[in-house]
Amino acid sequence: MIRTFTTHRIRKQEELTGKLWQFCPLQGEFAGKQFQVPTPGCWENYPGFGLYRGEGRYTTQFQAEGNLLITCKGVSHTATVLLDGQIIAEHYNAYTAFSAVARAVPGGLHTLEIIADNRFSEKSALHVPNDYMSYGGVSRPVVLEQVGTSYLEYLHITPFFRDGHWHAQVEAAVQNLCEMEPVDMRITLAGQSLRFPRLSLPRGRSVHRGELSFEEVQPWLPESPVLYEAQAVLQKGEQPYDDLIDRFGFREVDIEGRQILLNGKPLRIKGVCRHEDHPQFGCALPFAAMAGDLALIRHLGANSVRTAHYPNDEVFLDLCDEQGILVWEENHARGLSLEQMQNPHFERQAEQVIKEMVELHYNHPSIYIWGILNECASDTEYGKECYRQQFDLLRSLDTSRPCSFASCKFKSDICFGLPDVVSYNIYPLWYHDTSAKEYLKDLYNWVQEETEGQGKPFLITEIGAGGIYGHRSTYATKWSEQYQAKALKEQIRAVLSHPDCTGIYIWQFCDIRISEEGWFGRPRTMNNKGILDEYRRPKLCYEVVKELFEEQ
């Protein structure tokens, strides 16, 4: 499934996944053997491949001709894409989409091969052995589109409220493959149109801007998430030849003192951190599983999800837009040490993912904040420079949302001057036995008295405790469901009763698989801090969290 709505009514589009492809592992016990596997998918879910780390070649065939735009929504984690034996794209990172155009392809049957590689090496600065799993495979849809010599690449809508009504800045990017006659572009949003007559398009990408005002539109709010369609159309004379449809909502996010405002109303976050992870699907959750997770999140009384620790599948974001769930969307990076941040590929790879994330997810009204560099070296000067550069980049791409990072550096963080919101991951009652209330108070006061984070909104982006599903202990010891429920009760109460805390994200929605390499001390090779286990079975703490979220 590509999106939850139609993205083209003129351009011809076809999903190439959603069926069986050929799969051939290139190393290991089954090297060179052919298998038929479902796509999208992760090879860890094919019998015998649960621990396979290596390369795998996926192959399919299709009929088409002309200029073919091939988009991979996610290949985990490094991809080489070949069309009829020629490399057309190479890409690093599992969690963002990439495209390639093959020009003037003759009519007939064509072969598409995607070589996915999930190995760790010096070349991979962001996918490293970690407290989550880097799966292998074509994990998100692959889409085939037929385009002309010019086509729409993105349409960004930035709504704003001034002088009693809504307006929107509009930005459209057009890609032009060769010299061409001027074309006309029309952009329609919520019934209003902008015209760009006789646009002369230079070769490559050109960006076109305009503004519209609206009289009678409904705002996007969590309790009434009204969405509008935006459509851009390119035409030659009277003949439309390309279009791009996206959705947006009329909402603004502002920071006022210690509050984050959505359409002028202070946000009170009651959220969960969620990995894209499922024992049957790896990171390639099908629609029903994503929608099922959101149904549980809403049933829990939560109003927000943190996409820890990478950009999520667009379908999940579509569902959040439709259901009014606020999203902290995060760039890919978790717990990188100073040494890992000094990897020569780190800067380029992190910046590339930020650019792809913002360009692709810009219009989702549910995304109210961007996060970067979870728990990296924000206590070092070198790290600070990396945070600074990435915040600068984010702000150059999007000025309509605040940004933040989740710190674990207790009283040694030196970066709080950089984000719009100060965010902390804390684990009182789990990694240490301090009372949650005292710990939070102490930390908050330190931020106010000693750091440049003073006066900024303050969020708890992680808190939680481990609990193994089904483990009830007479003594309610650590790892038992009772201990987890008790710890969460105290932690949630402490955060939600703090007068200056914007909210809480619980670590985490459900138990997840972690990478085997280098990660000791995690029972079951899982992170067991889920409110649900990996099969989405509620633990004892589920009702505790639900009760506290519903009463606040």
Interface with ligand ADA (CB under 6 A): 131, 334-335, 374-375, 408, 425, 462, 507, 527, 529
**What is 453-470 written as a DSSP string?**
TTTS-EEEEE----B-TT
Q: Smallest gap, in angstroms, from Cβ of residue 514 to ligand ADA?
A: 8
What residues are paired with 407 via a beta bridge?
A: 424
Position of minimal CB gap to ligand ADA:
131
Long-range CB pairs of 444-450, under 8 A, 24+ apart, other chains included = 444/498, 444/500, 444/501, 446/411, 447/416, 447/422, 450/411
The residue among 366 and 374 lying less far from ligand ADA, judged by its C-beta, is: 374
Q: Smallest gap, in angstroms, from Cβ of residue 437 to ligand ADA?
A: 20
The residue among 219 and 467 lying less far from ligand ADA, judged by its C-beta, is: 467
Phi and psi, residue 509, nearest 5°? -60, -55
The residue among 28 and 335 lying less far from ligand ADA, judged by its C-beta, is: 335
The residue among 56 and 419 lying less far from ligand ADA, judged by its C-beta, is: 419
**C-alpha angle with apex 136: 132 to 137, nearest 5 degrees?**
135
> What length does the chain have?
552
Report the alpha-carbon distance of residue 304 to residue 362 in Å, rounded: 18
The DSSP code for 388 is H
Report the alpha-carbon distance of residue 477 to residue 467 in Å, rounded: 10
The residue among 219 and 466 lying less far from ligand ADA, judged by its C-beta, is: 466
Q: Smallest gap, in angstroms, from Cβ of residue 508 to ligand ADA?
A: 7
The residue among 76 and 423 lying less far from ligand ADA, judged by its C-beta, is: 423
Report the alpha-carbon distance of residue 77 to residue 414 in Å, rounded: 32
Q: Smallest gap, in angstroms, from Cβ of residue 173 to ligand ADA?
A: 34
Report the alpha-carbon distance of residue 504 to residue 527 in Å, rounded: 19
Q: Smallest gap, in angstroms, from Cβ of residue 421 to ligand ADA?
A: 16
Amino acid at 171: E
Is 158 in a helix, a strand, or coil? Answer: strand
Q: Smallest gap, in angstroms, from Cβ of residue 352 to ligand ADA?
A: 22
Q: Smallest gap, in angstroms, from Cβ of residue 306 to ligand ADA?
A: 10
The residue among 57 and 306 lying less far from ligand ADA, judged by its C-beta, is: 306
Quote the tokens at residue 5: 């709505």
